[in-house]
Chain A
Amino acid sequence: MSFIKKPKIDLPGQLANKIGLLKRDYEGVLSTLCAGCGHDSITAAIVQAFWELSIPPEQVIKLSGIGCSSKTPAYFLSGAHGFNSVHGRMPSVATGAQAGNRDLICIGVSGDGDSLSIGFGQFGHAVRRNLNMLYIIENNGVYGLTKGQFSAAADKGSKSKRGDINQWKNIDAVSTAISMGSSFVARSFSGDREQLVTLIKAGIMHPGCAILDVVSPCVTFNNHVGSTKSYTYTRDHYHPAGQTDFIPPTSEIMVSYAEGDSTVVELHDGSKLLLKKAGSGYDATDRSRVMRYLEQQRARGEVVTGLLFINAELPEMHRIYRTSETPMKDLDFEKLNPGSEALQKLQAGMR
């Protein structure tokens, strides 16, 4: 049996967040992934981000598809309802869940195979609907559970563990999402905890579909020389495009920043994102310039990270539909059922 209950240990000095929960309250069962797997670092960052945001776990739903990445929702937020769906179809379940209860905070964890091959269509349509969720793609360029086939995210020319050279151009989740009109696109690296936690927090609070592509090396099948998704390659080509700070609703922007070198994006709940250009001139709100920049860096083999594009004004699914603010599942039956009199009246027109 590969399920091991994780013991809850009270460590001295653990801090409680605003709602009195410890970090361990945001953990799940013990991971069964390989030691050193990038996905476990992302899980840890998710735990950290939810804890820092003081979100009650029961307000969260966590969904996934199939693959190594999709096992991870079991490893965080044991107090949240989880849904390990079928391969590539997490977005549709998330869409239904959001349709049924819009008050839930939704996090979807997918992989490069799950989102860029079998689930490419659903990935695109979650973006198109601007479904209010954080959509993480744990990207290792490889099919781990079936032992090392290239995924659609593998770079052309990269080498498999068995020595095959990938002949196909990769599908890049980031530029694809931006070109489809995404409202929030970021890329990070499982090895950059600080950036990852910030981007997860920003993605959770973003009122729309936040795509977060995380390079997450597979230590077993894709961490060798010749791989472009290894720890070594990613560290060597890691290239943050500016820096993002997440500022919760009631907090002030404390850091000083030079006029023109930063952009503040305000989210609907009052929290703010401070985008620091760090001298690069990168502007995450200018779609065409972002696309050009990403293309230039891609050609050079650089892994550009950070909050790469944002438009917090794009309406999410329910705003477009003008759905009731009361979640569908909470609407009173009396409100939903027109009653016998209305049925009689309606049928008068059917004669």
Chain B
Amino acid sequence: MSEVRVNDFVLKIGTVNGTGSASANGMILKALFRMGIPVTGKNLFPSNIQGLPTWYGIRANHAGYMSRSKQVDVMVAMNAQTYQKDLDNVTAGGFLIYDSTWPRERQLNRDDITVLGVPLAKLCNENFSDARVRILMKNIAYVGVLAALLNIETAVLRSLIEETFASKPKLIESNLKAINLGFNYAMENFTCPLPIRVERMGDNSEHIMIDGNSAAALGCIYAGATVGAWYPITPSTSMMDAFKAYCKQFRIDEETGQKNYCIVQAEDELAAAGMVIGANWVGARAFTPTSGPGISLMSEFIGFAYYAEIPSVFFNVQRVGPSTGMPTRTQQCDIMMCAYASHGDTRHPLLFPANPYECFEMAVSSFDLAERLQTPVFVLSDLDIGMNDWMIPELKWDDSYRPDRGKVLDADEVDELEKFYRYLDVDGDGIAARTLPGENAKGAYFVRGSGHNKHGMYTESSAEYKDLVDRLLVKWNTARTLLPKPVLKNAQKETPIGIIAYGSSDGAVVEALDTLRDKGIHADYLRVRAFPFHGEVTSFVENHETVFVVEQNRDAQMRSLLTLETDIDARKLVPVLHYSGMPIPSECVVEGLCEYLCVEDVA
């Protein structure tokens, strides 16, 4: 390959889990980011602590495409175990870099790619004495190699190292030494840079790099959430880790050292749900991060909170199911479960963030919605959004924001009433006022999951039962008006083709739209951001002849939900599905549409 390609490639690094490659990979990602190039980093890791193969994929793309690409232009094969597989995965014309301390001539059986051997272990063994340091520095050394090969600015790497180890100057020295070892070796032995290379595009000063779980945790901080109850589960765990870290930074009283937060690691997900509901009942904003199996366990309480009308926020960072499934792989597979979680007639508002930016925004609004609607609200993220590194516009905060606590009567307001009735719909929006414990005996009421009437009293009367559950439907329609609207992206030309997608499938669709346009296929795109569906979702389908519903599960769950909850003609909705556990690439969308529309020459 000789054609020069600037700021458009996929770099993949294969290492062994637990060898400390994360900091090296993060360094490359950030260096590219600081050079103003749009980047994303996706971690493909096993359900394991140490020893199994792990890959990190970095996509740099001047057009800003964020989805996973199937392409591998440059592969760094650091894991002998997966060497052959890594070699096979390189796209024709691409490059493979391996540790040539142990020559592998017999395995270099591809003549359509360029193989570059760097004696990384040898270089590090000669230059570092400590065994653990040698292993770690081998990773940093390949960063140096890549800097030379890809034209990454060494000054950027230097400042990254200096910032990272500001408090440990000795580490700055060794890291810089390792970078230079790799860099110099590449400069002396190869033609640098490669045709695949980077060039500075700016400085990305309006953007940040963040994962969705951190962004969601930050949203909880900014929403004023104080109680977090959880049970550890991949891939949601890092959300509570982040919440805890931000709490330590922002929520410890300077004078007293006391914590303005309360995080409880529950005994299981059932208890976590109970704690969230208990805390919200007394008036504290509380949430739980979990994943599919957790929602299964929480479902009894979710139905309780729906019927007893207690605000609560559930973050479901989805992973591959069913059952334990593949805990470290991504899917959008809990749509149906969350929409109707629990026994009896239950329905819950769902929010679908498409990236960490929306994780932050929707985390904040989920608390407002939960308290306004007095019901469980789900934020449905997934492993791809939650745990991968995304480049997003800088988060903004409006200091005039105040939480919407919904209809809560304080002690004085209760005093003004002749009598307080918990479930009386005074305003006609299906939402009754609540009171908080500890304030006024006159406002006391009894929360129960058993039959209750609008006065909050136990009932077994058919009429009273129906009266209450019918009001919950009025509230459901109020919810429709409060949830975030879908986002419409119209094609340049009028077209009978539409695409509906949500959450982390967004990036693949956005990229596919351009590819399809170049093939002469124009499609309007509507990104659904919430359930119950906004009226625009129905009209979008009505206004198109064929609507492709792109999602990451086997059973076309969003498509099912659309057909169940609207009077859309199901025959119009064509599923485009991706459920391998890897984030959906744009090729899947392109192929899905082309196949259906019988277009030749599918790239």
Whether A57 touches B441, Cβ cut-off 8 Å, given contacts A99-B262, A351-B33, A351-B205, is: yes
**A1 contacts B461, C-beta separation under 8 Å:** yes
Whether A94 touches B278, Cβ cut-off 8 Å, given contacts A74-B446, A101-B284, is: yes
Interface residue A146 (Cβ < 8 Å from any Cβ of B):
no
Interface residue A56 (Cβ < 8 Å from any Cβ of B):
yes
- Give the chain B neighbours of A339 by CB distance below 8 A: 397, 399
**A336 contacts B208, C-beta separation under 8 Å:** no
Whether A336 touches B226, Cβ cut-off 8 Å, given contacts A3-B459, A96-B274, A121-B267, is: yes
Q: Which of A43-51, A75-83, A163-171 contacts B (4 or more CB under 8 A)?
A: A75-83
Q: Which of B45-53, B249-257, B347-355, B539-547 contacts A (4 or more CB under 8 A)?
A: B249-257
**B262 contacts A321, C-beta separation under 8 Å:** yes
Whether A93 touches B274, Cβ cut-off 8 Å, given contacts A101-B437, A338-B221, A339-B397, is: yes
Q: Which of B224, B278, B397 contacts A96 (CB 8 A)?
A: B278
**A350 contacts B210, C-beta separation under 8 Å:** yes
Whether A337 touches B224, Cβ cut-off 8 Å, given contacts A58-B441, A86-B301, is: yes
Shortest Cβ distance from residue A6 to the other chain B in the assembled complex, whole angstroms: 13
Interface residue B261 (Cβ < 8 Å from any Cβ of A):
yes
Per the bound structure, the CA–CA distance linking A60 and B250 in Å amounts to 31
Per the bound structure, the CA–CA distance linking A94 and B273 in Å amounts to 12
- Give the chain B neighbours of A121 by CB distance below 8 A: 267-268, 271
Q: Which of B108-116, B125-133, B326-334, B447-455 contacts A (4 or more CB under 8 A)?
A: B447-455
Q: How many residues of A contact B (CB 8 A)?
A: 62
Q: Which of A58, A89, A338, A351 contacts B271 (CB 8 A)?
A: A89
**B266 contacts A92, C-beta separation under 8 Å:** yes
Whether A329 touches B436, Cβ cut-off 8 Å, given contacts A96-B278, A96-B286, A350-B209, is: yes
**B459 contacts A99, C-beta separation under 8 Å:** no
Per the bound structure, the CA–CA distance linking A104 and B437 in Å amounts to 8
In the complex, residue of chain A having the shortest beta-carbon distance to the beta carbon of B403 = A333
- Give the chain A neighbours of B281 by CB distance below 8 A: 81, 83, 93, 96-97, 100
Interface residue B277 (Cβ < 8 Å from any Cβ of A):
yes
Interface residue A151 (Cβ < 8 Å from any Cβ of B):
no
Taken residue by residue from 365 to 401, chain B's Cβ proximity to chain A (1 for < 8 Å, 0 otherwise) reads as 0000000000000000000000000000011111101
**B282 contacts A61, C-beta separation under 8 Å:** yes
In the complex, residue of chain A having the shortest beta-carbon distance to the beta carbon of B459 = A1
Taken residue by residue from 54 to 76, chain A's Cβ proximity to chain B (1 for < 8 Å, 0 otherwise) reads as 00111101000000000001100
Interface residue B136 (Cβ < 8 Å from any Cβ of A):
no
**B208 contacts A347, C-beta separation under 8 Å:** yes
Shortest Cβ distance from residue A235 to the other chain B in the assembled complex, whole angstroms: 34
In the complex, residue of chain B having the shortest beta-carbon distance to the beta carbon of A331 = B260
In the complex, residue of chain A having the shortest beta-carbon distance to the beta carbon of B34 = A351
Per the bound structure, the CA–CA distance linking A251 and B284 in Å amounts to 36
Per the bound structure, the CA–CA distance linking A70 and B278 in Å amounts to 17
**A100 contacts B282, C-beta separation under 8 Å:** yes
Interface residue A192 (Cβ < 8 Å from any Cβ of B):
no
**A122 contacts B226, C-beta separation under 8 Å:** no
- Give the chain A neighbours of B579 by CB distance below 8 A: none
Interface residue B229 (Cβ < 8 Å from any Cβ of A):
yes
Q: Which of A2, A86, A94 contacts B458 (CB 8 A)?
A: A2
Shortest Cβ distance from residue A69 to the other chain B in the assembled complex, whole angstroms: 15
**B282 contacts A101, C-beta separation under 8 Å:** yes
Taken residue by residue from 221 to 240, chain B's Cβ proximity to chain A (1 for < 8 Å, 0 otherwise) reads as 11010110100000000000
In the complex, residue of chain A having the shortest beta-carbon distance to the beta carbon of B224 = A336
From 326 to 351 in chain A, residues with beta carbon under 8 angstroms from any chain B beta carbon are 327-329, 331, 333, 335-340, 342-344, 346-347, 350-351
List 3 A-B pairs, minimum CB-CB distance, nearest first. Answer: A96-B278, A92-B274, A79-B441
Report 10 cross-chain contacts, Cβ distance below 8 Å, ordered by A residue.
A3-B458, A3-B459, A84-B448, A89-B301, A92-B272, A101-B282, A101-B283, A124-B267, A328-B262, A336-B260
